[in-house]
């Protein structure tokens, strides 16, 4: 049993608290020390009975988070107070109202954003995603919420060794999925790199240790090389009276591992193991000129690679990062990356968003990039009406990737996500411009809506009042604004069609002398096998369900026994009776011990379809994913994460489905087969028996054999396939082989 010396602990707590005050001292104003002391005492009292898994007093954690907030992010007094108190509402009896009373509404709001949502979450939702969305809602008002959360996560990752392995994997996975990209987006490169390295330490520990050992082994040789490389540059910079420092910076373990994995090469073949960083003291007005002067000096001694010049001074990254990067050939024949920046740029590169406030008076143009990013987050929050998991996926795909820089016809610079199309650009200009976009002129050349923009493109949008959004647009837009506006327009169109459908149903029921009430409508929905009443009305309005078919519903309804004991009062029991009468069962996935019908996603690594042997896997951020038992990842998932595996099976194995064969003709293009199969298997969940495609001089012809429930099912699929870009004709073949 470990004995705890309480006196020693008290001294250590005091020592850490004084260290915090020392670090905060340079920017403390009158009364700040008093507020910090009050927050420290409140946190001490609230956490006094608590200990971390390491056995240490819990107060060590908020103290360390506050130190990271000052030292590694550069935050001020309000953030220190919030960091010291960040866990008290979640873990102790203190209420948010107590915080607001004692420390004001700003601190209370930050802590609210940092406090996890309590309660039971519905199946198919993710507590992590819900909490992340809540945190971002507060971010749109106060970015310090995210910055303190990153400090909290960094300290948790630094002390993760005390956790059991399953908890380590969970925390590490969340970190690499959300928090490391978020640190990158806010310009906190040092924190981002450390989070990635720590992720690797707990998920691929052997590779982590191996790369770490090799970096230490090669340190002496690397230092000698760096000294030899920088000697002539150093001399010339001194001669030209520059005030500077030069650092040799080794790549992070994670980025080396990533490169080895992606390029399938050993450690010894990673040529850019390190970068040389030249940081100079420069007046704000002459920063750009000074950086290019230093670039000129470097390239006087070493030949640059013209394809590897990155000018983030003229056009800073969206997270505010500014630097000039070049890759040059050294005398032993080795490529070396050289990064040139000023002290201000280096401060922003290390401390990201927080460092901008220091330089805002200088009319720092790069700060606007981050402001625009926060504005995008606000926009996403306002537009998001999907699930939290969809929101997180959307957030990551839109805001955690590189940008593309394009220009309007008047020369205004627009920043869009990498992979953005002409249609994304149109929606970025204005919702109405996007909604009526026909195509675009890029660099004076006509291009289609799905043209992928490249850096430097000048784009002019072409519109027509007759044009309106369609579902196909969702297949190639990448920005959250375009996606949400298209979905909004489609929803409105869907409502209008559903309203028309409702009127048609009303008339038909009147003719059949049936009442339009909830019971009848729910029974109609069940009869036509639609997920919701709105789906049923929509399909009637669009003519996908023929109004004549409603007459057949009356015939089926009349076959149901009139015995009062067996009266059909709800759609569920009606559905059972219809299934019995039809002597067939639609395919659905049953999940869990009780074999319930619940929300799930099909895993893209194996694309299961009805009839496959499957299992459900409870993911960290995306609910339940269904994999085939023969999936290439099945062995790893089942052996490593057995506790997250749930039973799953199809309720029928397509015994009563009918075989049909289609002939499909069109012009060949890359990705066409993928688009066709994703509609059949992914969107419509139809089981294919075979598929043959032959191409001749850019024209393709294919035959697809598949299982369908009825002709209505087949017609829906034919209509969807005809909308695929490149498909000219889809016809049914009567003689299925």
Contact 370, 356 (CB under 8 A): yes
d(C-alpha 98, C-alpha 108), whole Å: 9
Q: Find the Cα–Cα–Cα–Cα dihedral 577, 583, 589, 591, rounded to 10°.
A: 60
Strand, coil or helix: 276: strand
Residue 91: active-site member: yes
Query: What is the CB neighbour count within 10 angstroms for residue 82?
Result: 30
Tokens of 662: 């289609």
- Among residues 166, 112, 2, the alpha carbon closest in space to that of 640 is found at 166
Residue 346: active-site member: no
Contact 137, 146 (CB under 8 A): no
d(C-alpha 454, C-alpha 222), whole Å: 37
d(C-alpha 525, C-alpha 509), whole Å: 14
Catalytic residue among 45, 90, 471, 519: 90
The DSSP bridge partners found for residue 614 are: 628
Q: Find the Cα–Cα–Cα–Cα dihedral 126, 130, 132, 135, rounded to 10°.
A: -160
d(C-alpha 194, C-alpha 188), whole Å: 10
- Among residues 563, 564, 588, 565, the alpha carbon closest in space to that of 575 is found at 588
| Strand order through the sheet with 589-591 | 589-591, 645-650, 614-618, 624-628, 601-602
Beta-carbon-side half-sphere exposure of residue 373 (alpha carbons within 13 Å):
28
Contact 168, 227 (CB under 8 A): no
- In Å, the largest CA–CA distance within the chain is 104
**DSSP string covering 399-468:** HSS-EEEEE-TT--EEEEETT-BHHHHHHHH-HHHHHTEEEEEETTEEE-TTPBP-TT-BEEEEE-TT--
Strands (E), 148-299: 244-250, 274-280
Determine the number of helices (DSSP H) and then strands (DSSP E) in the chain: 30, 20
d(C-alpha 354, C-alpha 69), whole Å: 10
Catalytic residue among 91, 371, 668, 701: 91
Query: Which residues have a catalytic role annotated?
Result: 90-91
């Amino acid at each position: 049993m470990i004995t705890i010396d309480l006196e020693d602990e008290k001294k250590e707590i005091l020592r850490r608290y004084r260290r915090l005050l020392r670090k905060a001292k340079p920017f403390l104003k009158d009364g700040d020390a008093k507020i910090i002391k009050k927050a420290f005492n409140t946190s001490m009292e609230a956490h006094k009975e608590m200990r971390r898994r390491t056995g240490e007093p819990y107060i060590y954690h908020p103290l360390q988070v506050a130190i990271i907030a000052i030292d590694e992010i550069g935050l001020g007094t309000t953030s220190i107070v919030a960091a010291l108190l960040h866990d008290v509402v979640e873990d102790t009896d203190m209420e948010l109202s107590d915080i607001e009373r004692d420390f004001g509404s700003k601190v209370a709001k930050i802590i609210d954003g940092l406090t996890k949502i309590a309660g039971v979450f519905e199946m198919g939702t993710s507590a992590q995603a819900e909490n992340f969305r809540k945190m971002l809602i507060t971010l749109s008002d106060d970015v310090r919420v995210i910055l303190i959360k990153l400090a909290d996560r960094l300290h948790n990752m630094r002390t993760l060794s005390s956790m059991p392995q399953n908890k380590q994997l969970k925390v590490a996975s969340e970190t690499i999925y959300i928090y490391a990209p978020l640190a990158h987006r806010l310009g906190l490169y040092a924190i981002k790199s450390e989070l990635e390295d720590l992720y690797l330490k707990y998920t691929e520990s052997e590779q982590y240790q191996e790369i770490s050992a090799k970096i230490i082994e090669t340190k002496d040789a690397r230092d000698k090389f760096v000294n030899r490389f920088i000697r002539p540059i150093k001399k010339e910079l001194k001669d030209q009276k520059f005030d500077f420092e030069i650092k040799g910076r080794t790549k992070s373990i994670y980025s080396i591992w990533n490169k080895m994995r992606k390029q399938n090469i050993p450690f010894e073949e990673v040529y850019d193991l390190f970068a040389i960083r030249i940081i100079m003291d420069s007046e704000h007005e002459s920063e750009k000129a000074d950086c290019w002067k230093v670039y000129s000096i470097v390239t006087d001694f070493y030949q640059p690679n013209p394809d590897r010049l990155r000018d983030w001074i003229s056009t800073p990254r969206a997270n505010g990062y500014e630097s000039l990067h070049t890759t040059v050939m050294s005398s032993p024949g080795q490529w070396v990356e050289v990064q040139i920046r000023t002290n201000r740029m280096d401060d922003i590169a290390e401390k990201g968003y927080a460092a901008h406030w220091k330089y805002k008076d200088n009319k720092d143009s790069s700060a606007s990039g981050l402001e625009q990013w926060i504005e995008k987050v606000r926009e996403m929050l306002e537009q998001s009406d999907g699930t939290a998991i969809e929101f997180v996926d959307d957030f990551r795909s839109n805001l955690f990737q590189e940008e593309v820089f394009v220009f309007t016809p008047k020369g205004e610079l627009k920043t869009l996500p990498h992979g953005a199309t002409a249609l994304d650009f149109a929606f970025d200009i204005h919702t109405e411009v996007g909604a009526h976009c026909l195509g675009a002129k890029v660099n004076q050349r006509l291009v289609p809506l799905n043209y992928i923009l490249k850096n430097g493109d000048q784009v002019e949008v072409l519109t027509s009042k007759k044009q309106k959004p369609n579902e196909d647009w969702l297949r190639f837009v990448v920005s959250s604004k375009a996606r949400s506006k298209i979905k909004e327009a489609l929803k409105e169109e869907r409502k209008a069609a559903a309203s028309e459908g409702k009127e048609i149903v009303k008339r038909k029921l009147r003719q059949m002398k049936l009442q339009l009430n909830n019971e009848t409508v729910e029974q109609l929905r069940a009869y036509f096998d639609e997920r919701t009443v709105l789906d049923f009305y929509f399909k009637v309005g669009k003519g996908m369900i023929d109004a004549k078919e409603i007459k057949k519903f009356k015939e089926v309804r009349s076959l149901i026994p009139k015995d009062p004991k067996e009266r059909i009062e709800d759609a569920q029991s009606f559905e059972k009776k219809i299934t019995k009468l039809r002597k067939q069962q639609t395919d659905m996935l049953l999940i869990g011990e009780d074999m319930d019908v619940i929300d799930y996603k099909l895993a893209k690594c194996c694309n299961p379809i009805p009839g496959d042997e499957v299992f459900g896997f409870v993911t960290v951020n995306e609910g339940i994913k269904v994999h085939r038992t023969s999936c290439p990842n099945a062995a790893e998932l089942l052996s490593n994460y057995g506790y997250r595996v749930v039973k799953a099976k199809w309720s029928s194995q397509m015994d009563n489905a009918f075989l049909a064969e289609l002939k499909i003709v069109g012009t060949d293009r890359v990705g066409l087969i993928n688009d066709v199969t994703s509609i059949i298997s992914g969107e419509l969940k139809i089981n294919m028996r075979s598929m043959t495609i032959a191409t001749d001089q850019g024209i393709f012809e294919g035959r697809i054999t598949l299982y369908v429930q009825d002709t209505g099912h087949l017609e829906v699929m034919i209509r969807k396939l005809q909308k695929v870009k490149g498909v000219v004709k889809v016809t049914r073949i009567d003689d299925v082989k």
